[in-house]
Amino acid sequence: MNIRKDFFSGLSAKICQILGGCLACLVTLLAADNGLADNWPAWRGPEGTGVSRETNLPLSWSEEQGQGIVWKTEIPEWGNSTPVIWNDAIFITTQAEERLLVLRLDKTTGRIVWTREVGTADTPRDAPRGQQKFHNLNNNASPSVVTDGEHVVAHFGNGDLAVFNFDGELLWKRNLQADYGKYTIWWGHANSPVIVDSLVVSVCMQDSLADLQEKPHPSYLVAHDLKTGKPVWYSPRMTGAMRESCDAYTTPLVRRLADHTEIIVMGAEQLDAYDARTGKQIWYLPGLTGNRTITGPTIEGDIVYATIGMRGATFAARIGGQGRLPSERILWRYEGNNPDSPSPVFSHGFLYLAADNGIAQCLDAKTGELKWRERLGREFKASPLAAEGRIYFLDTSGRCTVVRVGETFEVLSVNKIEDRTIASPAVSDGHIFIRGQKSVYCVGQPFSR
């Protein structure tokens, strides 16, 4: 009996140990999944697509009526970078007159925790097209920061690339213009960096000056070690585009596959991908003739959705493989009222577009067929947000129209804050964070204490 008792007692202990281990693994997986949902670590969120997996997000708010605004924090003016969020920390960049700043805010209160000056707004441009001229809707603080939960990477339109820790300590800094030549982009550099494993990857797509000089000016991708700032690889990106068509203000997508990670870039009349470890080009889809590209791409599976620059066609392309992709990879083209600035967003089999003239559209993502087209605002610059079966369209007047996902047009709410809004919204912990030119807003229910 003692032997049987000891045997079953030991067996029970072993089973409890196994179950305990499984439970611990489950808790870890759930925590990791919640971390993905609760954080907004980069431009357009965890996957760079403008999609949030969170639930219980706010549907209605009004600053005038004091409804649904948890906090509002005035910030030094101004910039268009999206709020980036990790746990209780929000990071933004801004340009206060000639000072280029990184700010950390507390997520639950909006309090500014620290402010760090990175550089000045002095931004020379390479001759012969003359001095740098920023568009009136763009300044040095258009690129969004990116974080991995430990490092905060900020890039500014003057070429400064700086990495801080969460306490605001500068870990390293360098200037891409000093390292790789003065910018030749026409309207001010605005590409946001991305973090890929231990690397910071930056893109620069700019006027080659090939019509004016014998040696073209380079566009490129460059990777730096996240911890040290040491250059790891540099890849020229010369597509054959000319003059302003070379310019692109887009942020790369990161696509992780079984055996490698791709950095997908759209702009300068080409869509292509690079190996994140080496910087070597993997595949490219040329011939996307248009003009400078502001609207960034999005991805669902192995299909990229993008808009050819200067309000050219929106298209869907099946990606993957090696070398030059055939034109047959383009599945459809939509020649309607396409956006110039806002990026498209995919949700539940539909692609949503916010055209700069205030017109929102819904397309069948498989065919490109127009399902509905409606005017929702005077002007869009922010990219739409997809969450919880809804699409949030934020126009430049602070008006946010929420529509239900689907082929039938249905408005769920119309909301308003009193600020000019060009930056795209962010989501974290059941709240929406909106960056105006004067203030940052937290929208939703009060945080539980």
Calpha distance 194→153 (Å, rounded): 9
The amino acid at 418: E
Segments in the chain below pLDDT 50: 1-37
Which pLDDT does position 11 carry in this prediction?
A: 41
Tokens linked to 154? 């900020």
Q: Are 139 and 188 in contact (CB under 8 A)?
A: yes
78: preceding bond cis by omega (within 30 degrees): yes
Tokens linked to 413? 């709410």
Can you give the pTM of this predicted structure? 0.90
Calpha distance 89→108 (Å, rounded): 9
Which pLDDT does position 130 carry in this prediction?
A: 65
Q: Are 425 and 396 in contact (CB under 8 A)?
A: no
Tokens linked to 289? 């003739």
Which pLDDT does position 133 carry in this prediction?
A: 75
Domains of the chain from N-terminus onward: 39-443 (2.130.10.10)
* Dihedral Cα 176, 181, 185, 190, nearest 10 deg: 0
Closest CA to 146 of 107, 103, 91, 100: 91
Calpha distance 93→81 (Å, rounded): 6
Summarize pLDDT for 331-384 with one digit per residue, the tens.
999 999 999 999 999 999 999 999 999 999 999 999 999 999 999 988 999 999
Tokens linked to 346? 């995919």
Summarize pLDDT for 384-400 with one digit per residue, the tens.
999 999 999 999 999 99
Calpha distance 414→417 (Å, rounded): 11
Burial call 286-300: b when 16+ CB within 10 Å, e when fewer: bebebbbbbbbbbbb
Which pLDDT does position 119 carry in this prediction?
A: 95
Tokens linked to 9? 């007692």
The amino acid at 401: T
* Residue 55 backbone zone (phi > 0: left; psi -120 to 50: alpha; other: beta): beta
Which pLDDT does position 132 carry in this prediction?
A: 65
Calpha distance 346→26 (Å, rounded): 30
% pLDDT > 90, the chain? 83
Tokens linked to 287? 């011939």
Which pLDDT does position 172 carry in this prediction?
A: 98
